[in-house]
């Protein structure tokens, strides 16, 4: 009896072949996902090849503010990297598997470690706007999981551990780089929601009781996909606002981008330093 067709596996193979051709022989080792306002790091990548998401078969395009929506592949910190200058979100109408697709695609190209970054609101009142926060763990409240279904089981076994999903050694390395550079870094639990509306004050109070330190609308589905195929993960949030109701905060997209622009130089130093020592 013939095997049932695995559409996701076929799509990843087609996408990987197309992206390899566009990268001209580059062999990236580290994947980077650049969140809201953090895309300028891609301009630091040397000898870069640029590939719009829309040029890759089966890839969705980004519609979020400040998300350019392209792959940038080249050298950063002496390592070959493949960066997503912008990401895909569930709130844009993408399924969980469509959000995860570029992560699985990176793995198809040989990327073994992923640095995922985002702008986040601080639930923890000890944090300050402009702090960076390393993700030690996460709470997935998107209501979705990209590995649900039959096709992902054909990529890697569907049952896998999420213990230390955010690699302890990479977190320690990030702390080391930040300390040497004099960059203020926190470490805590990230909570991911579907969005696009910001959270209510009542939700933030509930999330604090669950042990969450930061909150935003991305990352968790990417990390699940990365761990599904055995990639090491480092998650870095930039605290761009206090969460709704914390110290009277009322978040908006404009302040998120303004803080990201102000902290851009330190963000580039932190990520470049980590990549260079991986």
Question: Is the full-model pTM beyond 0.75?
Answer: yes
- The domain segmentation of the chain, as residue ranges, is 7-277
Measuring CA to CA, how many Å separate 137 from each of 80, 83, 94, 114? 27, 23, 24, 15
Q: What pLDDT was estimated at residue 1?
A: 39
CATH class of 7-277: alpha beta
Triad 250, 253, 255: Cα angle to 5°? 70
Tokens representing 196 are 């696009």
Hey, how many other C-beta atoms are within 10 angstroms of the C-beta on 179? 11
Triad 27, 150, 157: Cα angle to 5°? 55
pLDDT tens digits along 113-168: 999 999 999 999 999 999 999 999 999 999 999 999 999 999 999 999 999 999 99
Is it the case that residue 2 has pLDDT exceeding 60?
Answer: no
pLDDT tens digits along 196-221: 999 999 999 999 999 999 999 999 99
pLDDT tens digits along 68-84: 999 999 999 999 999 99
Spatial contact of 35 and 118, defined as CB atoms under 8 Å apart = yes
214 has which bridge partners?
A: 122, 190
Spatial contact of 139 and 191, defined as CB atoms under 8 Å apart = yes
């Amino acid at each position: 009896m013939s095997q049932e067709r695995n559409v996701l596996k076929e799509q990843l193979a087609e996408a990987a072949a197309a992206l390899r051709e566009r990268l001209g022989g580059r062999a990236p080792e580290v994947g980077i996902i650049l969140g809201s306002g953090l895309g300028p790091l891609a301009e630091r990548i040397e000898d870069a090849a640029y590939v719009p998401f829309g040029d890759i078969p089966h890839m969705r395009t980004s519609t979020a503010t400040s998300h350019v929506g392209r792959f940038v592949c080249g050298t950063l910190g002496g390592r070959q990297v493949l960066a997503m200058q912008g990401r895909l979100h569930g709130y844009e109408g993408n399924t969980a598997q469509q959000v995860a697709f570029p992560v699985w695609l990176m793995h198809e190209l040989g990327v073994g470690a992923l640095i995922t970054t985002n702008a986040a609101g601080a639930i923890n009142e000890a944090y300050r706007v402009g702090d960076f926060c390393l993700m030690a763990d996460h709470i997935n409240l998107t209501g979705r999981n990209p590995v649900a279904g039959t096709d992902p089981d054909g990529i890697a076994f569907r049952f896998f551990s999420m213990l230390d999903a955010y690699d302890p050694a990479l977190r320690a390395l990030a702390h080391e780089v930040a300390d040497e550079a004099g960059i203020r870094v926190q470490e805590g639990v990230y909570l991911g929601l579907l969005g696009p509306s910001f959270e209510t004050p009542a939700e933030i109070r509930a999330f604090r009781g669950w042990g969450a330190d930061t909150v935003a609308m991305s990352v968790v589905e990417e990390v699940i996909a990365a761990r599904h195929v055995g990639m090491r993960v480092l998650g870095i949030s930039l605290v761009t606002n206090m969460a709704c109701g914390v110290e009277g905060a009322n978040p908006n997209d404009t302040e998120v981008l303004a803080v990201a622009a102000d902290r851009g130089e330190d963000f580039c130093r932190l990520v470049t330093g980590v990549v260079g020592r991986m």
